[in-house]
Structures are given as structure tokens and as C-alpha cells.
Chain A
């Protein structure tokens, strides 16, 4: 079933798009992440322009995350104050990221920059996650107890703030820096950033696990919403038809994934997610060094 995408200005197989949404939704439900980091590379792989893939993926991630946010909000698992700090910093970061995105697109290096960001960010993260889950697995076997959370040098920076729900009294600088960074990556990579935000909240901020998912969803929903609007304004590359097709699959897939995920242990899930992230990084890394099929590329001027 061919569907014409009005913004991408091309026809695609509608069932293929729904299928991609389903697959990504399944994995995101399984691992509890938004799945934008899988969506964008898959869309680029089937031939969509990088700009459309990134901008639309952010829009889709927002829709896919909203029901999770509402569920966590009802259960009181959202640290609203921390969420606001992360979101405000995230808005600044995404505003900056969209400017960089538009600039890079003008000079014709968008494909390269998107791929390099994916390879570097996902490569580091996948390796860290796989290593961490291996350590956790070993620790569990040897029964070494862990502390609740550790204080880093960065928690002692000035401008201390109390986050009651997270039971933290730390400097506001680290959450602002993290929020800004995630917002920037969200604009460049079309991801929600949950897969970076969650480990950053646990290991860098020392937030209790119970509020981490809800609070990260809070930031993801607002920042991807901002990215959607900013990309619509500066690059006109958000394709709503593509986004809605992806969401039909993603919403269904996420429910199955979530029920599958409940049967896996925490560190096993994280280990598998780490391997998946690494695989995406290696796949995109290969496209950077492989000899291209065509030595010239064509790009319309608007």
C-alpha cells in the first residue's frame, strides 16, 4: 500500500512504515525507552531524507511517550521540580540544536553529522550499558551490597537546590548541564534521550529509581514537543502523515513489548539494550566508511 508523504515528497510503503513503528514500539516497550534512537536510523535506511527522519522521529517519540508520562504522573512517580529544571535547560539545548541542525543542513553535511552523532553517542552508551549490566550481574552473584547513592564533586557546585521527591539537596548545575545536553541531542538525532537521561539521573544525579522513569518522560515529552515545533519552523521537515503511521505501529507494539519486558530481569534488559544500541552504532559507523554506491549526491535547493 503506497502512501505519499507530503513533507518528504515521496511515496513509501505504508505497511513498511507501520511495521517499523511496530518493531520499534515493541523494543521500546520491552526496554522502557522511547526508541527514537532506532527509529531515525531505520527511516534513513529506507531512503527518507535525514532532515525528515530526525524531525519526524522527535514528533513520534513525543506521542509515544505521553501515555507513559500520564501513567507515572497519576502514580506520583514524577519529580516535578527536577522535571522543570531538566525541561527548561532542555528547551535551551534543543533551541541551540535546531540552529546547528539548520546550519549543517545549509552547508550540505547533515547526513554526515547525524551519522557521526549516532556512532559516537550510541557507541559510548552501548559500551557503558553492556559493561554496567555485566558488572551488576557479577555483583549479584557475589552479593556485594551497594550504597543508596554516591556524592560526586559536581553535586557540591554552587546554587544548591532541594528536590524533595528525589530526596536530593544538590547543586542545580549538573541537572541543567544534563538537560541542555539531552535537548541538544534531541534536536540533532531526533531522539527523546531517555536512554541517556535515565542512566544520567541514576548514576550522575543519584536520583531514586522510582522517580527516574516518570521524571525522564516529563522532560522527553516537553523537549520533543519543542523540537517538533522548532523543526517545523526552521526546516519544515516534520511529516505528520509519516509520524501518525509510525505511531499506529508503535503504540500497539509498546503494549506487547511491555508485557514481554516484565519477564526479564533488570540487568538482563539493560545488557540486551546495551547490545542493541551498540549494534545500531556499528551499523551506522559502517555506512560512514563503506565506499558509497554513487560518488555524487543530488540535493534540491529551496
Chain B
């Protein structure tokens, strides 16, 4: 794997003079099948400018969520106030050669939406936003859906760089946009846009689509399947 990446990097390097920054993904498509346990992608490339830092940001499709605060009423914990975040990305990861705060000013990072603290998360209740926004980020981080790696991009020989993108089993399907940015002197000097697709495939995808497109048929099919398995199982085990 590493050798293949290095060979590809060599090829890229040969074509370098045309661009200040070249980058590629190890995979353009992630298949979520019945046995899916997460995936790992590699973003690799070469940069022309020395010294320069690299920032890689991955944004998944929008996945609206509601964050509910646990509240105690008469000794029992229940869900209290809730805030919706309609623009929350389903997945977000950012990796860089050095901590982001050292590379870019806050205004610049906000404009480019870089960093977990500067994600554009619009709350349905603006007054309550901050605590809930923080909770959302923490919960998504626990699930591996939001990530920030301050030294996640490694540089070899001053020109070649690579970083790994880890996708947990719960990664939402859809189009993922990857921004690769070359940063020098507090400014973005070069950039490349890449994209990959996370798709549900195989039996599990068919089952999900069927369940949502034809819920009545799905319900009847579930009944028939349970009846057949229950009956067949009892026959098998009675003989055994």
C-alpha cells in the first residue's frame, strides 16, 4: 500500500511544475455493505512551495440533528430542552501539519470553515446555541464522526504529504468533499478540491431502500419471513 502511494507520488511529482499543489485520494468510492466496519482513506499529494503547511478538510453530507438536554424531574431523568441543527454536517474531519490556530487567523478559518470550533452550526434556538453546539460536537467526536488532528498530515522529504481519513461504521452515505489547502505566511496559497462517495451497497442497501419505499410490503414480508423461520426452526430442532 505504502509503496503504491509512494510510486504514485513520484508520478505526481514529475507533473508538478504545472501546479503548486497536487493531491489525490486512495479511493473515490466507499461501499457500505452488510459487513461494513468502517473504512480508511488516504489523501496524498505533493506541494511545490517550501516551506508550506497543508490542511485537509473533509465534509460529509448535511445530516440535521436535534440535541436534547437531560433533565431531572421528580427523580427521573428525561429529555428536556431541545435544539435543532439543520446544517450540521454528518461527518467532518480536519487534519493539518501544525495546529490550525498557528497557521491561519480566526477570521480566515471562519471564512474557510476550518476547525471544529468554527463549524457553521446554526441552532434553531439562537439563545441556547452555545452549550448545545458544544454538546453536539462532543457527542459527534465520541462517535468518530467529527475529528480534528492537529498534526494529522505527515510530510516526507519536504514535498510529499499524506493523511489518513477514518470513517466509522456509522458514517452517513452521500457525497464527501475534500479540500486540500497549502498555507504559507497565514494565507492559503494553493488549493485542490476532491470528492468521494459513500454508498450503501448490497443486501443491506436493498433492504433499507425497500423498507422506506414500500413500507406496507416490507411489513408483510417481515411477517412472512418470521413465520417461515419460526416454523422451519421448530421442525429442525424437534427432529434433532
**Contact residues of A with B, CB < 8 Å?**
2-7, 9-11, 59-60, 62-67, 70, 108-109, 111-112, 116, 225, 228-233, 236, 238, 240-241, 243-244, 247-248, 251-252, 254-255, 288-292, 294-301
List the A side residues contacting B66 at CB < 8 Å. 108, 298-299, 301
Smallest Cβ-Cβ distance to A299: which chain B residue: B66
Bound: A255/B67 CA distance, A: 45
B213 CB to closest chain A CB, in angstroms?
10
Instruction: Choose from B70, B84, B86, B229 the contact partner of A297 (Cβ within 8 Å).
Output: B70
Q: A59-B223, A63-B226, A238-B219 are in contact. Are A10 and B207 (CB under 8 A)?
A: no
Instruction: Choose from B65, B69, B215 the contact partner of A301 (Cβ within 8 Å).
Output: B65
Bound: A4/B170 CA distance, A: 10
Bound: A232/B223 CA distance, A: 10
The 10 closest A-B pairs by CB, nearest first: A251-B233, A63-B226, A232-B219, A67-B234, A229-B219, A63-B230, A296-B135, A6-B204, A6-B207, A301-B64
Given A4-B204, A64-B230, 14 new contacts (CB under 8 A): A9-B208, A11-B36, A59-B222, A62-B227, A63-B230, A112-B76, A228-B222, A233-B215, A240-B225, A241-B34, A243-B226, A288-B76, A288-B77, A295-B69
B227 CB to closest chain A CB, in angstroms?
5
Q: B61-100 interface mask toward A, CB cutoff 8 Å, 1 = contact, 0 = none? A: 0011111111000011111001010100000000000000
Whether the pair B227, A63 counts as a contact (CB closer than 8 A) is yes
Bound: A229/B218 CA distance, A: 8
B168 CB to closest chain A CB, in angstroms?
9
Q: A60-B226, A231-B219, A299-B68 are in contact. Are A4 and B233 (CB under 8 A)?
A: no
Please count how many residues in chain B sit with their CB below 8 Å of the partner chain's CB atoms.
57
Q: List 17 A-B contacts (CB under 8 A).
A: A6-B203, A7-B211, A59-B222, A67-B234, A233-B219, A240-B225, A241-B204, A244-B226, A252-B233, A252-B237, A255-B234, A255-B237, A292-B70, A295-B135, A297-B79, A297-B139, A298-B67
Bound: A108/B76 CA distance, A: 15
List the A side residues contacting B231 at CB < 8 Å. 66-67, 70
Bound: A252/B238 CA distance, A: 10
Smallest Cβ-Cβ distance to B232: which chain A residue: A251
Smallest Cβ-Cβ distance to B73: which chain A residue: A112
Bound: A248/B226 CA distance, A: 10
Bound: A298/B70 CA distance, A: 11
Whether the pair A2, B79 counts as a contact (CB closer than 8 A) is no
Q: Is B33 an interface residue (CB 8 A)?
A: yes
B159 CB to closest chain A CB, in angstroms?
39
A202 CB to closest chain B CB, in angstroms?
25
Q: Is B221 an interface residue (CB 8 A)?
A: yes
List the B side residues contacting A231 at CB < 8 Å. 219
Q: Is B136 an interface residue (CB 8 A)?
A: yes
Whether the pair B139, A251 counts as a contact (CB closer than 8 A) is no
List the A side residues contacting B218 at CB < 8 Å. 232, 238, 240
Bound: A107/B101 CA distance, A: 40
List the B side residues contacting A67 at CB < 8 Å. 230-231, 233-235
B171 CB to closest chain A CB, in angstroms?
10
Smallest Cβ-Cβ distance to B235: which chain A residue: A67
List the B side residues contacting A111 at CB < 8 Å. 79
Instruction: Choose from B32, B135, B216, B226 the contact partner of A62 (Cβ within 8 Å).
Output: B226
Smallest Cβ-Cβ distance to B217: which chain A residue: A232
